[in-house]
């Protein structure tokens, strides 16, 4: 792992390479006899899955990629035709619609059906209903991991014990059955060690945004940085390599005092440093990004790049206690935190990342993020005395994105910051 070639590809290029390779392997999995596990990003047990030589598929990622490609609207409609309500989560409908329309994955290649549904039920109740529905559509076993919620802002020994027991009694035996392999503690240990390395590198990448100007956008840019660590690669050498490359590039940007990268090159001027709460909109992802960077706004920190796990507080996968660390990892996902804990975290980001304000992006689909966001906004505003803004759309149902509405609110928000700045410039005493 220490032998990164002298002439390295760019992080972006390398990521594309490993993702392409992953989708190729998925497309050929059936023919090669490799078994496939469908699972979720928050609280994913990627190391465990890979250690059994199983291939993970993340329906949420498929859904968001379908949206980026402009396919999600049809998929959602198809699922609604099959009887799903317009009220429920569009990720679920996009996934079910995609399946009903032939299950061609986001890379344009067919996705293999699951050999196991690993329902890691972390930070989102709808996950449970989602896989109950998939289980009825696919004839395959389902294994459930119930991850208790950090309602009181902490993890108790009882909670960890509960998760570990489920891993031992339900999850590991299910994977062993499906893969036909035994549990390999040595392999897990090695993968946990690699995971911990990636995690440390990932944290350094995210923390680079504390620099002024920020070398990265931690939301619109950040979602691409988080893919390897939250999906099929965390416990692998590839992930370590990717984050090394990424960190090198970021550090170079800092040395050169370069601003964050946008779709149209470097941000000409970093005018606003923003913390964002909530997942992005995927159907109009680029459009929403433009509404930020064209105004000179860079997102320096946010909750979404922590949706698959929070490493900022020192948590790492632990080769010496792998199962306990899986348990702690799952329980520590952002959406598994209580509302007060989320307020604490965002407030800390506002300070550590020298932010000018918080913008809450609320999505219709997600109650796990959404219910309580307005209170979170109020609390952060109260504690930091920084302006907070609020915009709404959806994850992957295109009809809930209104550019005019969002622009209207963002315009007002950024102008509000401008006006305050201008006032303070005129009246330095205040």
Q: Residues 165 to 204: which contact another protein by CB under 8 A?
A: 165-166, 169-170
In the complex, least distance from residue 103 CB atom to another protein, rounded to whole angstroms: 18
**Applying CB under 8 A, what is the total number of residues that bind another protein?**
76
Distances in Å between the alpha carbon of 405 and those of 233, 288, 313, 412, 420? 38, 11, 36, 11, 23
219 vs 414 by CB, closer to another protein: 414
- Within positions 350 to 409, which residues make up the interface with another protein, using CB under 8 A? 362, 364, 366-368, 370-375, 378-379, 381, 387-388, 390, 392-393, 400, 402, 404-405, 407-409
d(CA 413, CA 405): 12
DSSP 3-state of 227: helix
Distances in Å between the alpha carbon of 293 and those of 2, 72, 146, 241, 276? 36, 25, 40, 29, 14
d(CA 272, CA 387): 11
d(CA 162, CA 222): 33
In the complex, least distance from residue 408 CB atom to another protein, rounded to whole angstroms: 7
d(CA 136, CA 385): 50
Query: Which pair of tokens denotes residue 106?
Result: 């986001």
81 binds another protein (CB under 8 A): no
With CB under 8 A as the contact rule, which of the stretches 49-57, 62-70, 88-96, 214-222 interacts with another protein? 88-96
In the complex, least distance from residue 374 CB atom to another protein, rounded to whole angstroms: 5
Determine which helix (DSSP H) or strand (DSSP E) holds 207, and give its type and residue range. Answer: helix 185-207
- Within positions 398 to 427, which residues make up the interface with another protein, using CB under 8 A? 400, 402, 404-405, 407-409, 411-412, 415-416, 419-420, 423, 427
Which residue of 339, 352, 354, 383 would you call a contact of another protein, by CB under 8 A? 339
In the complex, least distance from residue 166 CB atom to another protein, rounded to whole angstroms: 6
Radius of gyration from C-alpha coordinates of the chain: 21
In the complex, least distance from residue 416 CB atom to another protein, rounded to whole angstroms: 5
With CB under 8 A as the contact rule, which of the stretches 135-143, 215-223, 245-253, 279-287 interacts with another protein? 135-143
């Amino acid at each position: 792992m220490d032998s990164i070639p002298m002439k390295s590809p760019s992080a972006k290029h390398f990521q594309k390479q490993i993702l392409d390779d992953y989708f190729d392997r998925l497309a050929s999995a059936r023919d090669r006899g490799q078994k496939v596990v469908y699972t979720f990003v928050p609280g994913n047990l990627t190391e465990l899955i890979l250690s059994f030589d199983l291939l993970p598929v993340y329906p949420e990622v498929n859904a968001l990629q379908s949206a980026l490609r402009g396919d999600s609207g049809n998929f959602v409609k198809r699922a609604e035709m099959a009887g799903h309500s317009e009220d429920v989560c569009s990720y679920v409908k996009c996934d079910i619609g995609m399946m009903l329309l032939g299950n061609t994955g986001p890379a344009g290649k067919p996705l293999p059906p699951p050999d196991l549904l690993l329902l890691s039920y972390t930070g989102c109740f709808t996950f449970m209903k989602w896989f109950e529905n998939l289980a009825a559509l696919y004839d395959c076993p389902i294994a459930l991991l119930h991850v208790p919620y950090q309602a009181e802002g902490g993890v108790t020994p009882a909670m960890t014990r509960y998760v570990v027991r489920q891993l031992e009694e339900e999850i590991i035996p299910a994977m062993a059955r499906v893969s036909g392999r035994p549990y390999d503690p040595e392999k897990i240990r090695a993968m946990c060690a690699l995971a911990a390395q990636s995690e440390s590198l990932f944290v350094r990448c995210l923390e680079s945004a504390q620099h002024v100007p920020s070398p990265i956008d931690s939301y619109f840019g950040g979602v691409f940085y988080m893919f390897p660590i939250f999906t099929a690669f965390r416990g692998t050498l590839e992930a370590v390599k990717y984050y090394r490359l990424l960190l090198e590039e970021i550090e170079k940007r800092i040395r050169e005092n370069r601003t964050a990268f946008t779709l149209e090159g470097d941000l000409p001027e970093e005018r606003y440093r923003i913390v964002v709460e909530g997942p992005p909109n995927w159907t109009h992802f680029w459009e929403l990004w433009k509404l930020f960077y064209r105004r000179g706004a860079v997102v320096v920190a946010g909750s979404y790049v922590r949706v698959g796990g929070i490493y900022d507080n020192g948590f790492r996968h632990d080769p010496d206690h792998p199962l306990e660390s899986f348990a702690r990892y799952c329980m520590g996902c952002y959406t598994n935190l209580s509302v007060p804990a989320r307020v604490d975290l965002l407030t800390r980001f506002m300070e550590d990342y020298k932010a000018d304000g918080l913008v809450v992006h609320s999505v219709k689909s997600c109650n796990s993020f959404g219910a309580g966001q307005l209170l979170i906004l109020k609390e952060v505003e109260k504690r930091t005395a920084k302006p907070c803004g609020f915009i709404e759309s959806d994850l992957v149902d295109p009809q809930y994105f209104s550019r005019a509405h969002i622009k209207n609110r963002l315009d007002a928000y950024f102008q509000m910051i401008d006006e305050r700045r201008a006032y303070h410039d005129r009246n330095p005493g205040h």
